[in-house]
Amino acid sequence: MRTTHWIGGKPWHGVAERTGDVYDPATGQVAGQVDFATTAVVDEAVAAAREAFTRWRAASLAQRTNVLFAFRELLNARRADLAAIITAEHGKVLSDAAGEIQRGLENVEFACGIPQQLKGGYSENASTQVDVYSLRQPLGVVGVISPFNFPAMVPLWFVPNAIACGNTVVLKPSEKDPSAANFLAELFAEAGLPDGVCNVVHGDKEAVDRILEHPRVKAVSFVGSTPIARYVYQTGARHGKRVQALGGAKNHMVVLPDADLDLAADAAVSAGFGSAGERCMAISAVVAVDPVGDELVAKISERMAALHVGDGRRPGCEMGPLVTGAHRDRVTAYLDAGRAAGAQLVVDGRNHPVDGEQGGFWLGPTLFDHVDTDMSVYTDEIFGPVLSVLRVPSYDAAVELVNANPWGNGTAIFTNDGGAARRYQHEIEVGMVGVNVPIPVPVSYYSFGGWKDSLFGDAHAYGPEGVNFFVRSKVVTSRWPDPSYGGVNLGFPQNR
């Protein structure tokens, strides 16, 4: 199967100079090729988006929201088809793929209510016979660059809001699982979105660099690893663009001695191994406050043994393979590195039974105990099914440990003490906090964003901050002349 770009409302018809392999991670087989965009192809997409912008920015709010409501219905009806596409290229199990679509749909629903978000202000008689009012207008062509781990949800964080605000889009999804983006673009076309409003280009650094440098691209929303997020932010800003670049993570779950340890163990396993740990909000570090360590580790290990790992299309599978063989090998190398550094390998994922073909990119759930903050299993974002337990003597030591970490995407505290939870939410330097909730991804009418090295830029993604990112404001001061205007006056205008 060949996946190509979607430009101006139709598939691209050129011959690609470069392509990449797309795998079925559950079999390890190459399932198809994806075309990589050159600078010229990105230019073609930006030109289509720029041309469409003139008309789309003038489309009424009713026309825009009609498209979004239709898109919402189509996506809802076809969610099983999209989930199958995601599982085939990413590897996550079907129920998890359906979950990411559901969260994506919530962002579409938010965008359906865009008229409420785009209301400006109006001040009658700011000065005598003078009114002042503000407008929220689109930016123009915006770039969206997304990671492999949420091939539908992350594009849906940005594209619906961007177009609802009147922008046109060039989306560059991950080259590892490119097909979901085309599925969404085709669905938008079916929903009545005019040609050129949503374009998809595939590829790697060459395509990204052109989006970052193109003078017609006014803003870039990026999600991916921290080094690339930092690069995208700096390069885009250097070229005069508005940029929001969401990066990687190391998410801590602090378990206090008074917590319900069964609830905490369930949460650690769900949030550590869901999607094989390939989530930016996955829990990768459990911080056990004395004396709960031994009991918590025992409860977590017991639950891990029961996990059904295998081909995400097979019934009952809870955790699929990793996205590529290279990524699986990189993650697996941490098992030896952690042990060599002195951590205790309590559960070795290489021994976990697998319900899938031998060539798949498998690694079962893995647990380290007695991890220290200087070990690579802790300092690096592993992005796989590897959970580390760190032990600390007190609540204060737990807070100090979490705040010293360079990332600040998500965190959770497990406790039955409301006062401790309230203190934690106040003191912790992390953008999204869960209280007895391990993956605190905000609902679509709040905004999503980490602190520190987990986000570069001012605006968080989606929700009200996401809308702010996609509009610029204009303030109009207006007078309808009447005889009282007073004639020539060279003084600086004053309000009377």
Active-site annotation, residues? 280
Six-digit token string for 213? 């440098």
CB of 87 to ligand NAD, least distance (A): 17
CB of 377 to ligand NAD, least distance (A): 16
Q: Which helix (H) or strand (E) holds 199?
A: strand 198-200
Burial degree of 135 (CB within 10 A; 0-12, 13-18, 19+): middle
CB of 162 to ligand NAD, least distance (A): 16
- The b-or-e profile of 13-33 (16+ CB within 10 A means b, else e) is eeebeebbebbbbbbbeeebb
Strands (DSSP E) along 249-350, which ranges?
251-255, 283-289, 309-310, 344-347
CB of 207 to ligand NAD, least distance (A): 8
**C-alpha span between 232 and 238 (Å, rounded):** 10
Q: Which is nearer to ligand NAD, 87 or 146 (CB)?
A: 146
Q: Which is nearer to ligand NAD, 168 or 244 (CB)?
A: 244
DSSP lists the bridge partners of residue 477 as 132
Per 3-state DSSP, the chain is made up of helix, strand and coil in percentages (nearest 5) of: 40, 25, 35
Of the candidates 336, 394, 348, 343, which has an alpha carbon nearest to the alpha carbon of residue 371?
Answer: 343
CB of 78 to ligand NAD, least distance (A): 23
* Amino acid at the residue 220: V
CB of 433 to ligand NAD, least distance (A): 15
Q: Which is nearer to ligand NAD, 67 or 280 (CB)?
A: 280
Q: Which is nearer to ligand NAD, 221 or 415 (CB)?
A: 221
**C-alpha span between 210 and 58 (Å, rounded):** 27
Edge-to-edge strands, sheet with 10-11:
10-11, 6-7, 198-200, 168-172, 141-145, 217-223, 242-246, 455-456
Q: Which is nearer to ligand NAD, 395 or 407 (CB)?
A: 407
Residue nearest to ligand NAD (CB): 224
Of the candidates 195, 42, 198, 25, which has an alpha carbon nearest to the alpha carbon of residue 108?
Answer: 198
Six-digit token string for 245? 């670049």
**C-alpha span between 163 and 384 (Å, rounded):** 34
Q: Which is nearer to ligand NAD, 405 or 454 (CB)?
A: 454
CB of 229 to ligand NAD, least distance (A): 7
Cis upstream peptide for 291 (omega within 30°): yes
Q: Which is nearer to ligand NAD, 224 or 463 (CB)?
A: 224
Q: Which is nearer to ligand NAD, 85 or 288 (CB)?
A: 85
Strands (DSSP E) along 241-332, which ranges?
242-246, 251-255, 283-289, 309-310
Phi then psi for residue 331, to 5 deg, are -65, -45
Question: Can you give the binding site for ligand NAD, defined by CB under 6 A?
Answer: 145-150, 172, 174-175, 204-205, 208, 223-225, 228, 246-249, 280, 381, 383, 409, 450, 454
CB of 60 to ligand NAD, least distance (A): 32
